[in-house]
Amino acid sequence: MSSPPRERAGRRPRRVADRLHQLPFKQPRHRLPAAEVVSADELEMIHDASLRVLEEIGLRIQNQTAIDLLRHAGAIVGEGQNVRIGREIIAQALTTVPPRFTLHSRNPAHNIVVGDDYLAFATVGGPPNCSDLDGGRRPGSQKDSRNFIRLVQSLNCVHSVGPAVAAIDLDAETRHLDTVFDLLTLTDKVFGASAIGAERFNDAVDLVCIARGVDRAELARTPSLSTVINTNSPLLVDGPMAEGLMACAAAGQATIVTPFTLAGAMAPISLAGALAQQNAEALAGIALVQLVRAGAPVMYGGFTSNVDMRTGAPAFGTPEYAKGAMVTGQLTRRYGIPYRSSNVNASNAVDAQAAYESQMALWSSVLGRTHFMHHGVGWLEGGLVASFEKMIVDAEMIQLLVKTMEPMEVTEDALGLEAMKEAGAGGHFFGTAHTQRRYETEHYTPLLSDWRNFETWQLAGSQDATQRANTIYKTMLDAYEKPPIDPGIEEALEAFGARRRQEIGARG
């Protein structure tokens, strides 16, 4: 009996997952040119404007310790927690920012370099909702969160986990303990931890110390964690964010200072203005990190985009976004700070718009020579949703870019004159010795793209890329294998969580 031509999407055996084509886990290196969207003079104008913002307008910082640190460094503190930061404070801080550092996983094979010409991709970070074609759009649950983490473990092109979606079904006070436990047991890749307030971040630090069998001093020398600190643009750093930033810096972990500068809403409507404000807020945050702990790893997060001026809705992957990503690259290269960008879009569905807006973000970030692509896989709907299908679409798009950045072989054999002689005028190359020697590895084999002719594709069910991505992500989950972990360590992680849950519960 022959098998039916159309199979229903669903659970597939592991051998199917083995046939999914992935590049090996590896960090790509930049080879495309760095874009210079603004001239050197214009870059200096943006730089200087941001310093004037810090000196003349200042930031409101809602945390006394942070204010004191800055005041001690020479900043002028005024009414209403206003802190004006002189350019010499920024210049001094920039001298201690490491241009490159390594994030250490509990599996050293999954360590990643942040800086130089290295590029790393992370998942979407923490939307409240998730979606797939089967279950639709819904608040994230621990089940969903775990499945995203499992997918990251399975997707070679992803180097770091967001985590992808918030586990809304768990107690908000102790959710971070469950999530970090999942991140330390379901994957052995590096991950980002929440730093809304110091306490949560410090729990993550303790847990990762247990997982890696190191103390806090060693963890500071060999950082594992990253955390995104958003300034509350314009020109505000709230208490929990300031506290989280200082906790991360104090622990010697990687702070990703990311102003939330949407032009026209939280920043000037003009791109130059939004970037000047982004730069002011980023430099202030980075200076604070260095004042807490000189030499602490830090990234400059570029997130400037614009809003729809009719509705206020945020837009992503726009020309303004793309130019912002490239100019941010120019700024970070000027300062020698590792550059975090994003793979973003504003679409409500995993459709052509989601793909082309994401591509705008991906290419412009690469031309900006980004080091760390946050929201690299799974982001949908302006960041309100982590999409399972978008994980796969993004993974394919990333693989395409990564292969595009690889060097091209130009050798006498690759130039193939012998093959041309063998094929002859009007002949074909399928059977030439040259083709036979090379065909298995010469070209990129897609994870998601379908190149079958229309008739074959139609017979197989006319599935579009999003429907195929649905099948692929479920196939990957079926084939998922938990990475090995010492049972004693897993027990210790559980015990820490239990103790902390009790402590936090007792407080409530």
Footprint on residues 390-419 left by a copy of itself (CB under 8 A): 393, 396-397, 400-401, 403-404, 406, 408-411, 413-417, 419
Asked if 257 touches a copy of itself (CB under 8 A), the answer is no
Asked if 355 touches a copy of itself (CB under 8 A), the answer is yes
Site for a copy of itself in 165-194 (CB under 8 A): none
Asked if 322 touches a copy of itself (CB under 8 A), the answer is yes
Using the contact rule CB under 8 A, the part of the chain among 199-207, 266-274, 290-298, 473-481 near a copy of itself is 266-274
Strand 379-380's sheet: what is its strand order?
136-139, 129-132, 385-387, 379-380
Site for a copy of itself in 86-105 (CB under 8 A): none
For the bound state, the minimum distance from the C-beta of residue 73 to a copy of itself, rounded and expressed in Å, comes to 20
For the bound state, the minimum distance from the C-beta of residue 383 to a copy of itself, rounded and expressed in Å, comes to 12
Site for a copy of itself in 426-455 (CB under 8 A): 426-430, 432, 434-435, 438-440, 442-444, 446, 448-454
Q: Are 341 and 374 in contact (CB under 8 A)?
A: yes
For the bound state, the minimum distance from the C-beta of residue 164 to a copy of itself, rounded and expressed in Å, comes to 18
Q: Are 351 and 95 in contact (CB under 8 A)?
A: no
Asked if 6 touches a copy of itself (CB under 8 A), the answer is no
In DSSP notation, 362-423 reads HHHHHHTT-SEEEEEESEEGGGTEEEHHHHHHHHHHHHHHHHHHSPPP-SHHHH-HHHHHHH
Residue 137's contacts (CB-CB under 8 Å, 6 or more residues apart) are 129, 130, 131, 385
Using the contact rule CB under 8 A, the part of the chain among 69-77, 198-206, 219-227, 362-370 near a copy of itself is 362-370
Asked if 306 touches a copy of itself (CB under 8 A), the answer is yes
Site for a copy of itself in 223-252 (CB under 8 A): 232, 234-236
In this chain, which of 196, 349, 492, 504 binds a copy of itself, going by CB under 8 A?
A: 349
Q: Are 207 and 493 in contact (CB under 8 A)?
A: yes
Q: Is the peptide bond before 234 cis (omega within 30 degrees of 0)?
A: yes
Residue 109's contacts (CB-CB under 8 Å, 6 or more residues apart) are 25
Using the contact rule CB under 8 A, the part of the chain among 209-217, 458-466, 476-484, 485-493 near a copy of itself is 458-466
In three-state form (DSSP H/G/I as H, E/B as E, the rest C), the secondary structure along 171-208 is: CCCCHHHHHHHHHHHCCCCEEECCCCCHHHHHHHHHHH
Instruction: State the Cα–Cα distance between residues 222 and 232, nearest whole angstrom.
Output: 30
Scored b (16 or more CB within 10 A) or e, 383-400 reads bebbbbbbbbbbbbbbbb
Instruction: State the Cα–Cα distance between residues 318 and 376, nearest whole angstrom.
Output: 17
Give which of 362, 62, 113 is closest to 232, Cα–Cα: 62
Using the contact rule CB under 8 A, the part of the chain among 179-187, 204-212, 244-252, 422-430 near a copy of itself is 422-430
In this chain, which of 465, 472, 476, 493 binds a copy of itself, going by CB under 8 A?
A: 465
Asked if 421 touches a copy of itself (CB under 8 A), the answer is yes
Site for a copy of itself in 45-64 (CB under 8 A): 45-46, 49, 52-53, 56-60
In this chain, which of 132, 144, 182, 320 binds a copy of itself, going by CB under 8 A?
A: 320
Count of residues interacting with a copy of itself (CB under 8 A):
129
Instruction: State the Cα–Cα distance between residues 65 and 63, nearest whole angstrom.
Output: 6
DSSP state of 308: -
Using the contact rule CB under 8 A, the part of the chain among 12-20, 283-291, 382-390, 494-502 near a copy of itself is 382-390
